[in-house]
Amino acid sequence: MATRWLLLLLSIAESSVVLQVHGQIDKLAGFISIDCGLPENAAGYVDNTTKLRLTGDAGFIDAGTNHNISAEYITPRLARGWHTVRSFPVGERNCYTLRPLVLAGPKYLVRAMFKYGNYDGLDMLPIFDLHLGVNYWKTVNISDASSPVMEEVIAVVPGGSVQVCLVNTGSGTPFISSLSLRPLTKALYPQANATQGLVVVKRSSFGSKGIRYPDDPYDRTWLPWFDPTQWSEILTTKSVIKVESFEVPSAVMQSAIKPLNSSTSI
């Protein structure tokens, strides 16, 4: 099955299928990007990679305490959004309330990111739950102080706001590094509807480059999937746009992989 998918990618890339998409909303309308744990009086800033503006979380929640991760976990290449966290040592359930400026669907991608970085100096890796409103979303299991954890869900939100809640399950203090909300068109991900959402397991781009905004106008995170010891990379600069219910961006479709050894599979 993996080989057939690879062949599909190659076929689309080489034939340069270009289809115009009409009637799309301004994807920046309704974007919410929060750097959790910034001091209340700190100014927002522009992310170096996406060029999107991030703001502090003081206007979205009134509980928790701000921390910097330990200096030993901060490297020159570590994005600023990982430097701080907000933790919740008090209360079983603490919720962010996100109110989009523009209702677009109302279907949204919600992304929560976590990097422990021994922010509390305790070297105690927590496990806690995430809820979207009243609904269970995911159990966050921090297994390493230096490794980031990213969780995404695609859901229909019937009201004018959505709550993202961190729930203490008795296995350590919940915390969060950043929180994002991205509006999606109604036609995108038809499997997500008023009765069920989609929890993202993994979203990969076959190649050595990760993809985010502006290459993906919805700012979905496409992680690179490439091992140079086993695969070679095939690239095209031609625009490859395929209109479908997932709207895979051209930047993702412009790369593909194939085994170095033709007798092995991907």
- Res. 69: pLDDT tops 90: yes
Give the domain ranges of the chain: 2-23+202-259, 32-184
- Res. 259: pLDDT tops 50: yes
Q: What is the rounded CA–CA span in Å between residue 13 and residue 250? A: 9
pLDDT digits (tens, 9 = 90+) for 202-236: 999 999 889 999 999 999 999 998 888 888 998 99
Q: What percent of the chain has pLDDT over 70?
A: 86
Which of 47-51, 69-73, 185-189: highest mean pLDDT?
69-73
The predicted structure's pLDDT at residue 38: 94
CA torsion, ordered 216, 228, 143, 212, to nearest 10 deg = -10
Residue range 67-79: mean pLDDT, rounded: 95
Q: What is the rounded CA–CA span in Å between residue 191 and residue 186? A: 11
pLDDT digits (tens, 9 = 90+) for 139-186: 999 999 999 999 999 999 877 889 999 999 999 999 999 999 999 988
pLDDT digits (tens, 9 = 90+) for 2-12: 322 232 232 22
Q: How confident is the model at residue 71 (pLDDT cuts 50, 70, 90)?
A: very high
The predicted structure's pLDDT at residue 212: 93
Domain 32-184: which CATH class? mainly beta
Q: What percent of the chain has pLDDT over 90?
A: 64
- Res. 22: pLDDT tops 50: no
